[in-house]
Structure 1
Amino acid sequence: MSVALDLQPDAAVTARALLERTDWSATPLGPRATWSPALSIVVDTVLDSQIPKVLMWGPDHVMIYNDGYSEIAGSKHPAAFGGTVPTVWPEIWDWNRRILEAGFGGRSESYRDQPMRLFRNGSFCDVVFDLFYTPIRDVSGAVGGVLCTVIEHTEREAVRHDLRRSNDRFRAAVAAIHSTLWTNSAEGRMSGEQPGWSALTGQTEAEYEGFGWASAVHPDDADASIAAWNEAVATRSTFVFEHRVRVTSGEWRQFAIRAVPIIDEDGTLREWVGVHTDVTEERLAQEQLREHAGILERQIRHRERAEEQLRQLNETLEQRVVQAVEERQAAEAALNRAQRLETVGKLTGGVAHDFNNLLQVVSGNLQLLLKDIAGNERAETRVRNALAGVSRGAKLASQLLAFGRRQALEPKVVNVTRFVRGMDDMLRRAIGEGVEVETVFGGGLWNTFIDPTQIENALLNLAINARDAMDGQGKLTIELGNAHLDDDYARRHEVTAGQYVMLAVSDTGSGMSPEIIERVFEPFFTTKAEGKGSGLGLSMVYGFVKQSGGHVNIYSEVGQGTTIRLYLPRSTEREDQEIEVDTGPVSGGTETVLVVEDDEEVRATAVEMLTDLGYRVLKAVDAQSALNVVESGIPIDILFTDVVMPGKLKSPELARKAKERLPNLAVLFTSGYTENSIVHGGRLDAGVQLLSKPYTREALARKIRHVVANQAQLAVARKATLKGPSLSPAAAEAPATVAAPKSGGTGAGSPTAEAGTKGTVLLVEDDGLIRMNTADMLKDLGYVVVEAGRAEDALTAIQTVPFDALVTDVNLPGMSGTELADEAREVKPGVGVVFATGDRHVAGVVPGEDARVTILSKPYGMEDLDAAIARVLDCQRVPA
């Protein structure tokens, strides 16, 4: 296959240039913009490598290689770049076919000193390679290509061949002009007259015969000499050795030995010719020289090191003293600041807890009062004004918790560029027309893992502060970019080194002095006039960013304006979608709720609100009292408990013990300050349901119905699980999968409505046990089921799998069920939708308005499920 290149054929062109200029749309790989992340990453790795590498990708085996491999390709470069393996190397295609089959089968292979015959540089030539083949997997886990590392040894083998020929000629030309010349038989034994050896050692023929010569060798060297000699004889290689020999005077002398085999033209080894050379004085001189040289070298090295250290000490002594003092002062200041902020943070956390309890009492009673005065417009207005004051108080408490890093964050993967653009109108209304707003976005911005509500508040706070600093007239610049904080910066600023998304807010206002900058993040510190600010804005920003694992940096000069940079932790995950909030009418229930609250007034308010919603209410003043109620055997459906309470037994432990006694018990926590009992790393523990104080009657009603419905559906799923196979963790987290009906179907594994099936259902439920149970119901009813535990998997299924109905939970992580349904109906407008939820109302869904949409309340059974799907499918079958 030919590849379109935007360049003239040139053997010197780099592989990187070829990658950029190649028209990939003319190749099986398609345009680079459509390449998978795995292919893009491995291509960059190959091109950056200094070792010759070639990637053979896809079923057509398209070749992408680096500059090192271009030398292997020879005159076939650059035409081979982007070509296919059988086209570029037809002479070795049989070899490559077998290798690629193994590689795409997931097997790695390697070959050392592999001979080949290639056609390159205009002719066939014999080459020798080291070859290492590695399968490369795509994001799906399947093998997408095979990477080959090539090391050529052709020249080395040629040199070895020449050396062997040279050695053959040299062996017969050993110069032995010395009285220690000796010969041995082909088997390596000394025999016959050896005048040189006899003159050297005084041994007679009978004494040196065979291996008798070894008795003249020093006892410490004899065994090693015989072993080395036998190895040389066995391999027919030149014998080179040193040992001590007792000469005729009785003295031990050091000798260097060299012996070579004499081989006839037919390859027969005829004899060995060797010589002993006395090197005693030479070795002694060398040893003494080495010893003296070593001593001299060490002395010189020590002297140079001492001189260098002295020079550096003289040059940097004053600077290092100043630096050490500054570093110590900075460290002490940072420690003092951190301790001060930590102390204030603990104080604000406790204050916020008590404050939220007070607000809950006021808020709850005002909402109950609102029902009592219904129809009295003047009284209703006053109560609503009071409730607005409660909301402002709750915001103040939230700011205190943010500064103290003790709020329960709900972070999501956020695209900050889109987020800031979405706030444009809000920011302009907040700061007024007198301030010019400029936004600067860097290219290729990363996503960040952050609480969207808190970052929105932070940006709004920074913008309002900037407006006030400019007296409503000036320029506000919002800048976004990727940033890397290195180890040195991280060490000096108490932050983890790594990658961040930087959000900077700059103004042209009055600026701040160093003294003000030192205190600017302290709560209640403000430079604004009395009544113009609470002093909690920047402290909230600081606490929230720190709790999120980020960093805040401020730069300001008096009269020159201020820049505040927020470094938000980078996320490599896909952006989460915003979940739509249900705004429909609220409903109560008749279940029994155990309210656990140590504050008497808060407890009384919660009891009255729940009673007003129709619930039967029990109450307890602490966790131990609540456990006593549970163990008394009184039927309880819901445990509604404060998180922070006095006593040894804590709320999470109460919940665990209560669920051991009552497995179907629904648990809802509430608090104005969660400490660390159900919040870790600033985030709610998995599976925990929390209603933060102060809460409204509507929020309480919705949350109660949500936890009750989910617990009821879990109970149905557990009962079904006891009758069938258990759900493995892997199954609970598996991506979208297809299962045929258990009976009555003929299309096992086929996600289409074939003969004998009722149709295909796409089931989306994040709770693994509920999903498994519902899938079993659907298969028993005769449906083909496509399962998905996440919205992302469901979106893929929507694009790739034919289906007749969508059954989805409303409260999915990352994307709401209503948004998922909108996506499904864009792809397949006539598809039926069943919302399986604990809420009796779904935002945007009016019962009876669209026959293709219905609500299935949890808990549901097989008949309820079948009827709901039948309703939305029947309307599709009515003739137009």
Structure 2
Amino acid sequence: MTAPDSSDRFPFLAHGGHMGAAIAAFDWSATPLGPLSQWPAHLRTATSIMLASDRAMVMMWGRTGILVFNDAYAASAGHSRRRELGLPVQQAWPEVADFNSNVLDVVLAGGTLGYRDQRMMLQRDVGLEDSWLCLDYSAVRDEQGVPCGVLVILEETTARVHVEQRLSIAQAAGGVGTFEWFPDSGRLEVSDQYLRLWNLPPGTEVTDALLLRLLHPDDVGVAGVKRLDDRGNPLAYSEFRRVDPDTGEVRWLARRGEVVSSPESGRRRYVGVIADITERRQTEQALRDSEQRWRNLFEQMREGFFIGQAVRAGNGAIADFRMVTLNPAFQQQTGIDTAWAEGRMMSEITPSIRDELTAIYSAVLDGNRRGQFEIQVPELENRWFEVRAQRIDEDSFAALFIDISGRKTAEQLIIESEWRFRSFAQSMPNHVWTATPGGELDWFNDRVHEYAGAAAGPLQGAGWLRLLHADDRARHAQAWQAAIAGGTGFEIEYRLLRHDGAYRWHIGRAVPMRSSSGEIERWIGSNTDIEAQKVAEAALSQLAANLEQRVEERTGELLATQETLRHSQKMEALGKLTGGVAHDFNNLLQVISGNLQLLTRELGADARAGRRITNALAGVARGARLASQLLAFGRRQPLEPKVLNLSRLVMGIDDMLRRALGEAIEIEIVTAGGLWNTFADPAQVENALLNLAINGRDAMTQGGRLTIELRNAWLDDAYVEPHAELRAGQYVMLAVSDTGSGIPAEVLEHVFEPFFTTKPEGQGTGLGLSMVYGFAKQSGGHVAIYSEPGQGTTVKLYLPRNEQAEDIVNDHPMPPAEGGNETILVAEDDDEVSATVVELLSELGYRVLKARDAEAALSIIDSGIGIDLLFTDVVMPGRLKSPEMARQARERIPRLAVLFTSGYTDNAIVHGGRLEPGVELLSKPYTREALAHKVRSVLVQQRRRDGA
């Protein structure tokens, strides 16, 4: 019985017997069906019907065929099979895995299957047994009619088959008993087989009294034993049962006798035969039961069914068909009342396709073959039906049909989705390919061609096999042929040749795409690069072989990783520190520079004082360069990148390099053909190259050769893995190599740190390489250094490839500085800087207003005073930031020009280290001439935009 509370919690399990209780207790959350509380209505309904049936029934749910069954099935399958509940059918019945796989494919595609006396070798409680079964498979559908499970009604017919076999053997052996009875004397002569049929020992004297004792009480009247003295033939054919008095076994016997009269004496004797027909009677009963089961199936099946009877014209040709023997599903599938349709002509029901149907069904009858076709019926809202017709005799056929309108719509969607698949496949980073049902590859996405470096043609068919490593070809062929033959999934690991000659490990996978009938229409496959995984597996294998050594190596790797992280964190911290220092330093330099420039104009012709001021200004310039290098290392230097070709840039500064390095240094420039463009700040690239060249010169104290190399480069996943901010892809490489003294390993790891130098005291700031490092990181690139003592040094700068056209750079000489009479609002929180800037602008002829913060600047603008240019520091105190103040100011004065200034932008007007479009910036410290040029330039550009 069901567990006491299962019917309360799950009413559909009520009256489900032992299996109802087992289903309620089973943990379904670990299966694709999910918890019982989440089972859909159609699954619950099907389970309830199955549990209530006394016939052996089992459901295979979903593509994996999760098993749910009733008590009758559990009893039939054997005690050990109760553990199959919730298992995939392939796991539960591995001995018939291929058979069940075909069932799932066909029925879940909308078909039905039936088998009579299907022979199978099944695992029973006592081992493998030869078994015979009647099996009927039909789909369990959801509310939309989509098949989601398979209902199996089964009956084991092993016993009946065995009986029939034994009966056949007995008949072949002539197992019939004979007898003669002489009524005058009462003597009964019988054969040995007669005695065996009555289960009597050899030599037994047979009398009517003995036979009466052995007869079943209900059959005494039909046996003829008590009517032997009647006239006529009391031994006419009859069937009756005899009962073994010891065991109670009942056997059916059939007897037939004839009266033989002697012409001379007129005496009668009776001659007859008797045979055991127990197996036949059981077979007949089983047949009646089977017919009843088929009738039940006929009434309950979802597919429509009818028998068509040919109506022939006078010349014998088929003119029409009469619809007879329709099942209830006929009306469900067509919407046509069964009572109305039965007995009518097919032409009355579907007149628009009469000729087409007549031709099809006539071919089924005349050709004595099965017909399967799809047809659209206008009278039934243009719905599509799949029909399977089988000839019964020369004038009738049986037809099974189902509505496939949904499938036809799906097929159209499949056609439409084919191009979507191609588009999707082309967008994937993996190799994607397709193959014919026979396994011939016929399409590859672009990733395959890019990997192989081959045109589309040579890879088609068997051409792609040339990419396979020779050692993997036989193994691949065996696995691929096995997948094609079995229609199963394909998975294998193999090595594929890349365009650069390297073999890389891939995992190849493919699955068959099937039609609604289960036929394979196409294979879809992919190759995924697992080279890194294979390397890891090899490392793991090595670890297993020599654990102690690998532990030591891993410990070293971990320490190296920790050291890399520590170094990266230290460099980041130094970057933030130097950025902040540079900001304050630039403000101080601006005050000093501005006042020195003002003092120069006040001193007039005092030559001695002028020289001192000039020297002081030169010191300010060196300090500004130092601050710029600090900002570059800290990745805080505002960049103005352009699309440029490094080959032209290097050639443009060739003369300057040769002058800077001197005659003792031989310079060689090597440029690869087809050099890609990059997106970088040209001034910073020149600065980086000059720094690297000068470092190389200083390392070659006795002279030497400096090589500048330009070429395209690919940085793959393996290379970029240790570098968190670096991405794999295409780069332009600028390498500077010298033949100098080289750098020891203990020094090499510190060379990118700010203020670290190997030069004698007073001969270097230690910021050259740190500036190159910061510029590379800020530009999305990478810098690497390689050196050995006595062998020289190579520094490689990688900048990301840019596919746009090179920008045109106009290097026009700067015109003389000039002022103007416009009104400028200066927003600066540093009073000393503010005073200096106001005086410089006033000296240039401008009318100058000043504000100490953003709120004060907006208040001046709101006062209504006419302002032409807002000159504001980027970083100021207060809640209102300078960029937002500038935006609000332009809302109030649309024609207002805006110029930012700062010693450290802190991302306020810089995005990704680059000035946002349309933003004008004058970096501190700046000269009077730079200020004059920038202010005048910004004002002129604003007038052009305003159309003035």
TM-score (norm 1): 0.49
Larger radius of gyration: 2
By relative contact order (CA 8 Å, sep 6+), the higher-ranking structure is 1
